[in-house]
Structure 1
Amino acid sequence: MYVQLSQIDGSEVKSDRNSALDALIDFYNAFNRADLVGLKAIWAEGEAPSMDNPVGGIRRGWKSIEDGYSTLFSGVAKVHVAFHDFTSQGGSDWHLFVGRERGKCETPAGSIDLAIRTTRWFVVAAGSWRLLHHHGSIDDPAMLREYQRMVLGETNRTTGS
C-alpha cells in the first residue's frame, strides 16, 4: 500500500479504526502539546525504540527518548511542527511515513521557522500501533545551529551534551 497524504499536526479527526495514521495523529497531538504521557502511549516500550534527531542525537530505548523529550519540553524553547509532503506505506504490522516537518521554534528571545526531513516507523505491538523509530534531519546548517542553540543553549550547542 502506497498513498500520498496531506498535512498532520495532531488536530485532525482520527478514523478510530486503530490505524497507523491515527497513531501518527496521536504522536503529533502529544508532541505539539508537550505531553509526555501521550508520547509514552504512542512509543514502543522497552529498549527496542530508537530516535535520531538534530537536538536529541541518537537515543535508544524509551527511557532515553523520554529524557530527550523532557529536556525539550522543560526548556525555554517551544516547538510546534506539522508533517507534510509525505508518503505512507506499510503492511498489516508495520507502517512507514516519510516526509517533511515544517514549524516554528520560539523562545522569549526570538523564533525561527523549521524545515526538517522526517521518517517515522510504526509497528503493531500488544494490539496497537506503536512508534518504533524516528529520524529527523535539518539540511540548512545555519538553521540547524540556531535550532540547537535555541533548544539546548549556547554551551550545549558545541559540546552536544
Structure 2
Amino acid sequence: MSNEQNAVLEANQTFYRAFEKKDMEAMEAVCSKGIGSLCIHPGREAIKGWDAIRQSWVKIFKATRYLEIDLEVISVEVSGDLAYVVLVEKVMQVAGSRRLEAKSMATNTFERMAGQWYLVHHHGSPIMG
C-alpha cells in the first residue's frame, strides 16, 4: 500500500474515531467545511454544506448514549488530490434504552487541501438481509 493510501486510511480512521466518540471537535477537524460537501446517512436524503452536515451529526450524537463501530475496508484509491474509501460499517448504537445494530456499505471521499486529507463526501447505505 502506498504512503498516500495510508494517509487516506488514517484520515478515514480519524473520521470514524470522531464518530464513535461523538467528538464534534475531532469531526470538524477532518471534515471539509466546503459548501459542496455532502453527507448521506443510511436511508436518508443528501445533506449539502458543512453547516447542515454538522447539525446532522450533532443530532445523532445527542440521541446516542453509546457507539461501537467496526470497519471492513474493501478498497482505497487515490488519484491526485482526490481519494475514496469503500467499506462496510458495523454500527452498534445505544439510543435511550434501545440497542440498535446495523450494517452499511459506505463510501468516503477525501480531498487533499494544503497537504491534509479532508472528508468531502460520506455516503452510507444499509445492507439488507
Equivalent of residue 122 in structure 2, options 131, 134, 153: 134
CA distance in 2, matches of 1:36, 1:58: 20
CA distance in 2, matches of 1:46, 1:115: 28
Conserved 8 A contact 2:22-2:61 = yes
CA distance in 2, matches of 1:55, 1:73: 17
Question: Shift of residue 99 of structure 1?
Answer: 1.7
Q: TM-score, structure 2 length as denominator?
A: 0.86
Bigger strand fraction:
2
Conserved 8 A contact 2:33-2:49 = yes
CA distance in 2, matches of 1:34, 1:55: 20
Cα RMSD (Å) of the superposition?
2.1
Equivalent of residue 63 in structure 1, options 40, 51, 68: 51
- Paired position in structure 2 for 1:116: 104
Letter in 1 for 2:114: A
- Paired position in structure 2 for 1:40: 28
- Paired position in structure 2 for 1:28: 16
% same residue: 23
Question: Shift of residue 48 of structure 1?
Answer: 1.8
Secondary structure in 1 matching 2:99: strand
Structure 2 unaligned blocks of 5 or more = none
The answer on 1:99 being equivalent to 2:113 is no
Q: Deviation digits for residues 119-153 of structure 1, max 9, x if unmatched?
A: 00001113210001011011338xxxxxxxxxxxx
Question: Shift of residue 55 of structure 1?
Answer: 6.2
Equivalent of residue 81 in structure 1, options 33, 46, 69: 69
- Structure 1 residues 72, 56: CA separation in 2 closer, same or farther (over 3 Å shift)? farther
Rg (Cα) greater in structure:
1
Structure 1 unaligned blocks of 5 or more = 4-14, 142-161
- Structure 1 residues 56, 43: CA separation in 2 closer, same or farther (over 3 Å shift)? farther
**Count of matched residue pairs:** 126
